[in-house]
């Protein structure tokens, strides 16, 4: 008998009868691990209603009370982080060391949210006019929705949920139906930490659940991470229904290697950033831009490193790269390898039919390397979201910059060089939201904010950090006067600041 993964509503597993259910697979074996309940309109309504009931009391909970829960949650999460990493590996497939890193980055965001008392301070101007004080308040929005992707089932919810509840909001979290158990685990830890019933609710499902949150009049804001077409849909649908929306989309991240770079360091970085989590990262390096004359040597170094990678079940300690998340996604990624060959790119390393340390039924595709990739090829233009690394060759720095800035995505990029002037020029001129200098995956630490430009972000606010707190609050300005009884009288003139 397979396990059943239920919604988490109003502080406990939802005991209703699911009208529909999906299957959760073990990516390393292809076997069904569990059935997950899919929400219909009734379940969406129950989750939102639970969050709405909990909001007034949570909004009025003191900052000390809110942060006390967050500190307790942080301690529980730190103590049980290995359990969460194992859950991620079992359903997503990434190796446990990668899953542990994901959880660690999520804990960073919890720790930032623990500073809510400092972050929610407003401004105050005494005697702005005679006897008049003006001050600002940062107040919560109400019920907010969080829609998270399959590739980071622990970290992305931890980008949004701690900040949202620290600001006094209540949350309905809709994780990916492909790996939903991490969200329930997080909700259980929050409950153990003392979070009141209804402040965090977990709703599983597909487009029905997503549309239910986007269209529900009591949901005030939506945070989303996923592909660009869906991010655009979420942004347009949510804003059309009067919601504040931050929708983080896809990417095609480039890594520029200048001729003066340390090529061993660059090759290590390209392999690590290209094939970690089997390339299922919105911050993965998917295009290495080799500036003449380093192309031949760099490609050889990357290929040599790929040959030593161990592909296998993420639960096995020797595995360095695991399977893809589902059979359908495996089929999609493999089709891009076929397309790259058909388009005339040089296939240096072919990951199809890779020998693995795992079951034959797993969703396996080995690291794949293409050279001499042109900007007209689908393996260059599309976000593949798998272990496929492309090398494009250009004559100089200006050509590399033009290639990057012409791309419709603007999530992350990196430059490898020992020339500080070139690096400084690059960070100024490149049209991308997150830049690494000799750092291949420039994901900001928890006290900065994450987000790209162009088609990688819809909305004005980046995720977590200071912008996250700004997104989950709205400002109210109070003008106050306590009049002296000796003052008074009617004055129909426009109020003047004197």
CA distance 423 to 413: 12
User: Which one of 114, 167, 282, 390 is the catalytic residue?
Assistant: 282
CA distance 388 to 371: 11
The H-or-E segment that residue 404 falls in is: helix 397-406
The per-residue b/e assignment along 220-256, b for 16 or more CB within 10 angstroms, e otherwise, is bbbbbbbebebbebbbebbbebebbbbbbbbbbbbbb
Q: What is the DSSP annotation of 294-328?
A: -HHHHHHHHHHHHTT--BB-TTSTT-SB---S-HH
User: Is 282 annotated in the active site?
Assistant: yes
Backbone angles phi, psi at 150, to 5 degrees: -80, -25
CA distance 451 to 443: 9
Among residues 31, 131, 121, 77, the alpha carbon closest in space to that of 484 is found at: 131
Among positive and negative, which fits the CA dihedral 332, 333, 338, 344? Answer: positive
The conformation of residue 130, written as its DSSP 8-state character, comes to T
Query: From residue 212, how far is each of 75, 145, 172 by CA, in Å?
Result: 34, 10, 11
What would the two tokens of residue 380 be?
A: 């260059």
Among residues 207, 224, 100, 217, the alpha carbon closest in space to that of 160 is found at: 224
Going by C-beta distance under 8 Å and a sequence separation of 6 or more, which residues neighbour residue 48? 143, 172, 212, 213, 216, 218, 219
CB 9 within 8 A of CB 46: yes
Provide the CB-side half-sphere exposure for 429 (13 A, CA). 16
CA distance 483 to 10: 46
Bond from prior residue into 457 cis (ω within 30 degrees of 0):
no
Among residues 172, 174, 175, the alpha carbon closest in space to that of 151 is found at: 175
CA distance 272 to 260: 21
Going by C-beta distance under 8 Å and a sequence separation of 6 or more, which residues neighbour residue 93? 27, 28, 278, 314, 322, 323, 324, 325, 362, 363
CA distance 363 to 133: 64
CB atoms near residue 310 (< 10 Å): 12
The conformation of residue 450, written as its DSSP 8-state character, comes to B
The catalytic site residues sit at: 282
């Amino acid at each position: 008998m397979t396990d059943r993964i239920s919604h988490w509503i109003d502080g406990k597993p939802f005991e209703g009868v699911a009208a529909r259910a999906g299957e959760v697979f073990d990516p390393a074996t292809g076997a069904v691990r569990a059935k997950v309940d899919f929400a219909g309109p009734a379940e969406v309504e129950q989750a939102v209603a639970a969050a709405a009931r909990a909001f007034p009391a949570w909004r009025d909970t003191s900052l000390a009370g809110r942060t006390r829960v967050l500190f307790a949650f942080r301690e529980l999460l730190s103590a049980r982080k290995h359990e969460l990493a194992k859950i991620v590996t079992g359903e997503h497939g990434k190796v446990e060391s990668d899953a542990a890193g994901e959880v660690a980055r999520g804990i960073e965001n919890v720790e930032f949210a623990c500073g809510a008392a400092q972050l929610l301070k407003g401004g105050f101007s005494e005697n702005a006019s005679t006897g008049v004080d003006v001050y600002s308040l940062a107040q919560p929005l109400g019920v907010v929705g969080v829609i998270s992707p399959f590739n980071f089932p622990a970290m992305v919810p931890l980008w949004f949920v701690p900040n949202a509840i620290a600001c006094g909001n209540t949350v309905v979290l809709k994780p990916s139906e492909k790996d939903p158990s991490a969200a329930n685990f997080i909700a259980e830890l929050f409950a153990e930490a003392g979070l009141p019933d209804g402040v965090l609710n977990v709703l599983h499902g597909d487009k029905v659940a997503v549309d239910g949150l986007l269209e529900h009049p009591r949901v005030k804001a939506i945070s989303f991470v996923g592909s660009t077409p869906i991010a655009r849909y979420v942004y347009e649908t949510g804003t059309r229904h009067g919601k504040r929306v931050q929708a983080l989309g896809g990417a095609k991240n480039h890594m520029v290697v200048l001729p003066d770079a340390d090529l061993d360091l660059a090759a290590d970085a390209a392999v690590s950033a290209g094939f970690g989590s089997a390339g299922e990262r919105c911050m993965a390096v998917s295009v290495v831009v080799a500036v003449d004359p380093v192309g031949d040597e760099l490609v050889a170094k990357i290929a040599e490193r790929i040959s030593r990678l161990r592909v296998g079940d993420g639960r096995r300690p020797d595995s360095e790269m695991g399977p893809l998340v589902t059979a359908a996604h495996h089929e999609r990624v493999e089709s891009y390898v076929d397309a790259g060959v058909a388009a005339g790119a040089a296939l240096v390393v072919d990951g199809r039919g890779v020998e693995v340390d795992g079951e034959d039924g797993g969703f396996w595709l080995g690291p794949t390397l293409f050279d001499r990739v042109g900007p007209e090829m689908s393996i260059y233009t599309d976000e593949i979201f798998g272990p496929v690394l492309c090398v494009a060759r250009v004559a100089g720095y200006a050509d590399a910059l033009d290639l990057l800035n012409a791309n419709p995505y603007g999530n992350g990029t990196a430059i490898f060089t020992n020339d500080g002037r070139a690096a400084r020029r690059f960070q100024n001129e490149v049209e991308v939201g997150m830049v690494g200098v000799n750092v291949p995956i420039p994901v900001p630490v928890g006290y900065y904010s994450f987000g790209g430009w162009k088609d990688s972000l819809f909305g004005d606010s980046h995720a977590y950090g200071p912008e996250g707190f700004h997104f989950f609050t709205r400002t109210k300005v109070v003008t106050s006067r306590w009049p002296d009884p000796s003052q008074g009288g009617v004055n129909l003139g426009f109020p003047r600041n004197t």
